[in-house]
Structure 1
């Protein structure tokens, strides 16, 4: 029970950025903000939060750099998806570019913030990590599929099948109260993706964005979206892992699997 409480506390600390975004969405939905449009208000709160987290040392400069990378990756995806009509941001705002409010990049950045902080607080170690050719290769293919499937076919299930020979030996080790626990990394991908799907239902209810089937009234986000978040989490963790590896110039947080 003590380990569960400690784990919950550390996870809560790691989720500060996402929780503040939820708070901004809820506040701006149910309370009228004078003068400033809702999307701009959320962007302002995100910027203030980011500065505050650095000043209070809840986040490190290196983690900020990672978060900025995710902001750009997420914004590029948002611009394309909104252009293709996958979802929309129907409200007005000064900080919208081609129909996409700039705060949307922070929603992706908040996932990166959670991963970075959780990694640090739980002292993550990974065994059986695949060689960069495989891990980075599947990362690129997954990201490209988010774009290409609009023109060709959706290869997500092929990519998911490829994950098993690549990551089936990969295990995450995390420490709670000086005791080490472990979990297959594919299971951790799925669990994080599932909880993001739950968060997505909350954020669409609060009007963060809108799927075509939610234009008349809100409805539950299709459960199939878990697979999209599952793949996005994989991209996120692979990028964070590779950046940590480049930063350290050594494999102290990884040991490689010898074969696929």
Structure 2
């Protein structure tokens, strides 16, 4: 079933034309629990991994694991095919992006690694991957199928201060008259997504490329949830809206399968933001994290 974000309840660019210059396209991935295969785009599903490529490991020290446990295999997080998400900046000769991570704390979050692959050189998953002993349950995603949807992002934290100051009175007036907050309901799309703006919960920390010194591009966000207690009114998909009552009237497990299908949690409802430099030939990547 497709997932459809409701149209914004007001015309953002008519009310606040100053933000139009900062609009960006983003792809909400809408993971939902399912049984993806290695040739499907997925979150937490099996990967189309080349037989000739050794499965990646983390050889950092993991204090919570018994001494001598050795290197830890990474776990699959995201697999995105160009056919499903062509908006990704695939390097020439590749058509699959794979994100794996070490499911232990590395500065309060798992340690992600990115791989760009050519699906024609991949023959299927090597084997079922045992989960590392002692891994953080919150960092082990349940297998989910994806439902990519294109929507528009407007900046929240990334709105320039001088523009925010100009718009402050108008933001307040519109919220008082309509009940819709620019910051919570009208700006940045929630959830796991590609492109657009990171869904910062604190002030932005945009990384610079260590190679060329330029600011890196936001590649994708992996969030703890599709929406929160305030943003659900505009970011809950139409197909998941209850016939009666609100999402918060559903039994907890039913709501969790809509709000946080992969079962991930980073700090206090935080997000992991991955960045890449498209100027450098080796496509360096990095990540940041924040939470409430």
The alignment's TM-score, normalised by the length of structure 2, stands at: 0.26
- Which structure shows the higher strand fraction? 2
Higher helix share: 1
TM-score for both structures, normalised by structure 1:
0.28
